[in-house]
Copies of this chain bind each other. A is one copy, B any other.
Amino acid sequence: MLGIELQRNGLIPLSRQVYQALRDSILKGRLTSDDVLPSTRELAKQLSVSRNTVLEAYEMLYSEGFIETSQGSPSRVVRGLLLEQRSLSLKPIEKTIDNSIKYQADFKTGLPDISKFPKRFWLQLQSKASEAMQTELWGYSGPEGLPVLREQIAGWLFRRRGISVNPKDIFITAGATQALHLLSGLFKKEDREIIIEDPCHIGMFRVLQESGYNIHPTPVDEHGLRTELLKANGASAIYVTPSHQFPLGGVLSAGRRAALIRFARENKMYILEDDYDSEFRYSGSPVSPLYSMDPNRVIYIGTFSKILFPALRIGYIILPAQLQSKWRQIRTYSDVQNPPFEQAALAEFLRLGKLDRYVQKMRRIYGFRRQLLLNSLEEVFGSIPQPWGDSAGLHIALQFPGMCFGSDFFRLEKEYGIRAVPVEYHSIIKGFHQDKLLLGYGHMSEEEIRKGILLLHKFISTFGYKE
């Protein structure tokens, strides 16, 4: 009935053959949204295979997000998965009145899915926690942040990252961007030199540039920063993303971690460790922060924008004691403090264990979308794009051997309502990553991912981005 033909003497396991046949049917539109699959017992009987074989195939389909199952009901094809390929046409988009772009396929990186966030519950929590706040907190409450939040973050870091930290060493910021912006004021004024990874988040690069730093880029490969290429250059600090390199996605290997710490010690530098999205790891064991290796030399930067929602504007840093009084001064003379309401709400969200559960839920969803993105790529592009880095975070770096994505590509795809950022956009020294694109998927629905990949494919094949 499903037209599945098995090769019983082939090298491919039967379960994989069943899986591939069903996936094919879904992707080709023979099975569409909400279609019911036969029960495992029934299909096993039809195909004359063991029930376990079918169960395994269904599990693969489930874990990759093609079907959904719930206790007692039959398995069904997920809604919005298949898109009518025919209806998709590649055409320049019209500008809106206010000159903003309405993207047809927006693979922007670093955006969480705000549609899944329990907004109403959060607002109730915020209101209740704020009502219970002492009146003094409506006045100035100091540049450190609310004590109750600093305590909750210490607990969170212990549970999730294995970091044991005194709440007094945690300083609340208005996000990770502000953390870096203000940290850049902590170090030597006269000759501002800093080492960063290349490629590196262009926004963070600009933060340092705006602060008047001379920036010394050091190349990155699939294992993160190439520490063997580090040169001191009189720098007072080095900015890294060791848990999930942005944008390439590598985890800094153990040997390089040790080398980096050694290098910083020898040259009396601080390491700014930006741990922007390590909550979301889909395989492998969790990566221990650099911070644990040398809390006196590593300044840890965390943020809740990527976990909860960007408008929250709450991040934090863990600061060595010798930098704390200067930090207080810098924060006071830049924007004084965070407002207390969001802080009180977040503290309560943490205290109730809601954040732990929310992260767990979203990791499943993001993992699913990542897998769907990879499946769609394979299906639509064939086997060309190679994923880089670890299975983590809200974006993926893809290598398209033989292709060349530069500023022309970036400009033109925008005209067609597509945003897939070339890695070159985040490169300081240009020319080393022209065959790579970044696809953010956290904020996209399953349908948007599928449609987006189809559009991207049409665009690339129409304009032919060959070297």
**Which residues does A use to contact B, with CB under 8 Å?**
111, 114-115, 117, 119-120, 123-124, 126-127, 130-131, 135, 137-141, 174-175, 177-178, 181, 185, 189, 203, 206-207, 210, 212, 309-313, 329-330, 332-342, 443
Contacts and interface: CB of A to CB of B under 8 A. Distances in A.
Nearest to A141: B311
B120 A131 contact: yes
Given A185-B210, A203-B333, 18 more contacts: A111-B139, A114-B135, A114-B139, A119-B138, A123-B130, A123-B341, A126-B130, A127-B127, A139-B309, A174-B335, A177-B333, A178-B335, A181-B334, A207-B333, A210-B333, A210-B334, A311-B340, A341-B341
Contacts of A189: 212
Given A127-B127, A130-B123, A330-B210, A181 B139 contact: no
Contact of A138 (B135, B177, B309): B309
Contacts of A137: 311
A233 B222 CA distance: 53
A130 B339 CA distance: 15
Contact of A338 (B313, B330, B443): B313
11 contacts: A114-B138, A114-B139, A119-B131, A119-B138, A123-B130, A177-B333, A178-B336, A203-B333, A210-B333, A212-B212, A312-B339
Nearest to A212: B189
A310 B138 contact: yes
Contact of A339 (B114, B139, B212, B313): B313
B139 A311 contact: yes
A139 B337 CA distance: 21
Contacts of A336: 174-175, 177-178, 310, 313
Contacts of A123: 127, 130-131, 341
Contacts of A342: 339, 341
A461 to B, nearest CB: 31
A206 B339 contact: no
A310 B181 contact: no
A330 B181 CA distance: 10
A140 B112 CA distance: 11
Contacts of A443: 139
A140 B174 contact: no
Contacts of A309: 138-139
A206 to B, nearest CB: 5
Contacts of A119: 131, 135, 138
B310 A140 contact: yes
A378 to B, nearest CB: 30
A174 B174 contact: yes
Contacts of A207: 333-334
Contacts of A140: 111, 310-311
A241 to B, nearest CB: 17
A117 B310 CA distance: 29
A139 B110 CA distance: 11
A334 B184 CA distance: 11
Contacts of A341: 123, 126, 341-342
Contacts of A175: 335-336
A131 B342 CA distance: 15
A329 B335 CA distance: 17
A181 B335 contact: yes
Contacts of A130: 123, 126
A313 B337 contact: yes
A175 B335 CA distance: 7
B139 A334 contact: no
A212 B211 CA distance: 11
A310 to B, nearest CB: 5
Nearest to A119: B138
Nearest to A314: B339
A164 to B, nearest CB: 23
Contact of A311 (B111, B138, B313): B138
A196 to B, nearest CB: 14
A309 B310 CA distance: 25
A-B interface, 5 closest residue pairs, ranked by CB to CB distance from nearest: A178-B335, A127-B127, A138-B309, A114-B138, A174-B335
